[in-house]
Structure 1
Amino acid sequence: MSVARMLTGDRPTGRLHLGHYVGSIANRVRLHQRYESFFIIADLHMLTTRNTREDIERVAGNAREMVTDVLAAGVDPARATFYLQSAIPEVGDLNTLLQNLVTVPRLERVPSLKDMARDSGKEEMPYGLLGYPVLQAADILCVKGQVVPVGRDNAAHVEVTREIARRFNNLYGPVFPIPELIQADTPSLVGTDGAAKMSKSRGNTILLSDDAATVRRKVMGMYTDPNRVRADVPGRVEGNPVFAYHDVFNPDRAQVEDLKERYRGGRVGDVEVKEKLAVALNRFLDPIRERRARIEDDRGLVDQLIVEGTERTRREVRQTVTEVRRAMGLTSAYTQVRRRAERAGRAVAGSR
């Protein structure tokens, strides 16, 4: 490969939000110009926590929305390959071949898996969720990804991938590159409720596709300092979601520092702080909305990108699986059996 490859993506569970943007999309926009970029629509991963018929029926629509959000955020469609994970069965083949290179205790130490089970209401860990990092390793290694931009939750998953790649190469030969993890500048973003990270399942998100009025409404309802009952009461900036968003999305640093100083001194109300945040967020989202409108006007573009990307990726994955099977000796095992069967067949035919 003359150009290094990047693998990234999301589960198709709905539209993307600001948490996705700071956790990974900003890095994707920045990096995809430098790398040959594959964007996975990870619907098999979705099945680990959402696997009803209704969930699956929503995959196609959610996939379109997800790709539209990524393009609207600034990814150039000419420099990105989007593909639907479930449409490439060879990914499952590679997952099967890799799963014996990691132990159950190692997977149980991945911290985010228990959180995912809890957040999805699972009382016990499904087998597929425990193996989530192995399937993710198959995703990365099937296209020989060398760069993986992820949020904090997936950092431990990528480390499992690195371990599996090293173990495979040591056992069978140098087939896989060892992928490099690139973490976001802002690892995660607290939700508008201030209780946990921004998450679709919690309903505490600001979507990349929200219109200006919706953004303002959500911002005005944001959690702030619960001990601050009046504007003249000194407030706490640290841990305050409104100021966390100002720090990330408001480029007017002088304004942000002035608001913080006055907030700590009890000289500004929550309404003014939130109003200025809504203005900053809408200013940030306006170019994304404009690009989204252009993409939606180009009917068939997103579906075509997914189909062409999936077909291209499947060719790549087939080649990788062939290399893996050859390195492991699996192809020679069957070849030996087949040749013996053919020789036996010829011997029987010759004796007649």
Structure 2
Amino acid sequence: MDHVVLTGDRPTGPLHLGHYFGSLANRVRMQDEHRMYVLIADYQVITDRDRPGEIQANITDLLLDYLAVGIDPAKVTIFQHSALPELNQLMLPFLSLVSVSELSRNPTVKDEIAHSSQAAVSGLMFTYPVHQAADILFCKGTLVPVGRDQLPHVEVTRLVARRFNERYGEVFPLPEAVMGERPLLKGLDGGKMSKSRGNAITLKATEDETAALIRKARTDAERLITFDEERRPEVANLLTLAGLCLGRKPWELADEIGDGGGLALKRLTTDAVNDFLRPIRARRRELSAPDVRRVLEEGNARARERAVETLREVRDAMGF
């Protein structure tokens, strides 16, 4: 089967190493195997915040990161939400296929509400899974790479597709979630890696900025370096990060560092990260604003052509 992959990011800031090992590297691999759509979900930025922030600058940052890591716009359709009004038109019939109680008990929505920066929860928050269903189904997506926290959204998409097909006739495939195999990277402070928490190494950070961030990373007082995710999670996280960048097992690195302590561990991690990111950062510097605009304009045009066709199919099936 020729799979169609839908993946993407919200433009809330530059991407970091967690994004790279969690999703970007997988996209680069998959672009040679399947048809792929990469969504810049600009409308979804206001799902859990009152203002979109520096939206244009963030979109440019995302595109620069995509191109720098090797996502090829000749193979992949990169597009943005706000350029496809058909996505919002698809959301209306899709909303009629799910109940309020089904949306309100979605565990991912509950978690996002708990961490929202809004004074009051907006209606958009409850429709977020259906908005994502429109993102996936407009291109007849069959594979959706996700983290574990996004699995409930894919289930909503499958529910919408199944109910639409049962009510109006076969239009949509039932997409499958694809879970990543990479270990989850934590932030340098031991918490969840996040752009907003300042505990992540962004792809565009300089080598000096990277070194400064890793110097401040949490470790512990034990001099002998061992890989123990339960007892020494901060040390294990740095070993995991270095191992991913070097293509080596973290426990092997721990054995090599031995009693070199936290200083040797941080030195090794800094060198590994900077060596790994050096070619990505070099490619990023070669790109220009016109490069980014052209990629987005061409991707938006291709994606909208697909969205118009799907919306026509939906209207025909429904009898409009």
* TM-score when normalising by structure 2: 0.91
Structure 2 gaps, min length 5: none
Distance 1:77 1:290 in 2: 19
1:322 maps to what in 2? Answer: 312
1:110-165 Cα distance to aligned partner (Å, 9 max, x none): 32223323333346532111111100000110111122112233222112111211
Aligned residue identity for 1:45: Q
Aligned residue identity for 1:319: E
2:298 maps to what in 1? Answer: 308
1:209 matches 2:204:
yes
Instruction: Choose 1 or 2 for highest CA Rg.
Output: 1
Equivalent residue in structure 2 for 1:171, among 160, 167, 170 = 167
1:237 matches 2:228:
yes
Distance 1:116 1:201 in 2: 15
2:37 maps to what in 1? Answer: 38
1:180 matches 2:157:
no
Question: 1:163 and 1:188, CA in 2 relative to 1: closer, same or farther beyond 3 A?
Answer: farther
Distance 1:243 1:237 in 2: 10
Structure 2 matches for 1:15-34, cutoff 5 A?
15-34=14-33
Q: CA deviation at 1:95?
A: 0.7
The 8 Å contact of residues 145 and 180 in structure 2, kept in 1 or not, is answered as yes
1:78 maps to what in 2? Answer: 74
Distance 1:51 1:28 in 2: 31
1:167-205 Cα distance to aligned partner (Å, 9 max, x none): 11111111011112111112632111102x211121211
The 8 Å contact of residues 10 and 44 in structure 2, kept in 1 or not, is answered as yes
1:251-297 Cα distance to aligned partner (Å, 9 max, x none): 244xx43543477x7x231010111011111121112112212223x
Distance 1:273 1:216 in 2: 12
Aligned residue identity for 1:20: H
2:141 maps to what in 1? Answer: 145
Q: CA deviation at 1:306?
A: 0.7
Distance 2:81 2:126 in 1: 19
Distance 1:321 1:74 in 2: 32
The 8 Å contact of residues 146 and 178 in structure 1, kept in 2 or not, is answered as yes
Question: 1:114 and 1:274, CA in 2 relative to 1: closer, same or farther beyond 3 A?
Answer: same
The 8 Å contact of residues 103 and 127 in structure 2, kept in 1 or not, is answered as yes
2:286 maps to what in 1? Answer: 294
Aligned residue identity for 1:88: L
Alignment partner of 2:43: what SS?
helix
Distance 2:183 2:49 in 1: 25
Q: CA deviation at 1:65?
A: 1.0
Equivalent residue in structure 2 for 1:103, among 90, 99, 113 = 99
Question: 1:188 and 1:134, CA in 2 relative to 1: closer, same or farther beyond 3 A?
Answer: farther
Distance 2:22 2:86 in 1: 29
Alignment partner of 2:135: what SS?
helix
Distance 2:295 2:226 in 1: 49
Equivalent residue in structure 2 for 1:279, among 271, 274, 293 = 271
Question: 1:113 and 1:249, CA in 2 relative to 1: closer, same or farther beyond 3 A?
Answer: farther
Q: CA deviation at 1:249?
A: 2.7
Aligned residue identity for 2:284: R
1:12 matches 2:11:
yes
Question: 1:33 and 1:116, CA in 2 relative to 1: closer, same or farther beyond 3 A?
Answer: same
The 8 Å contact of residues 37 and 79 in structure 1, kept in 2 or not, is answered as yes
Aligned residue identity for 2:50: N
Q: CA deviation at 1:222?
A: 0.7
Structure 1 gaps, min length 5: 332-352
1:335 maps to what in 2? Answer: none
Instruction: Work out the number of aligned pairs and report it.
Output: 315
99-108 or 241-250: which moved more?
Answer: 241-250
Question: 1:140 and 1:258, CA in 2 relative to 1: closer, same or farther beyond 3 A?
Answer: closer
Alignment partner of 2:6: what SS?
strand
Distance 2:292 2:160 in 1: 34
Q: CA deviation at 1:26?
A: 1.7
* TM-score when normalising by structure 1: 0.83
The 8 Å contact of residues 22 and 185 in structure 1, kept in 2 or not, is answered as no
RMSD: 2.1
Q: What's the % identity of the aligned pairs? A: 40
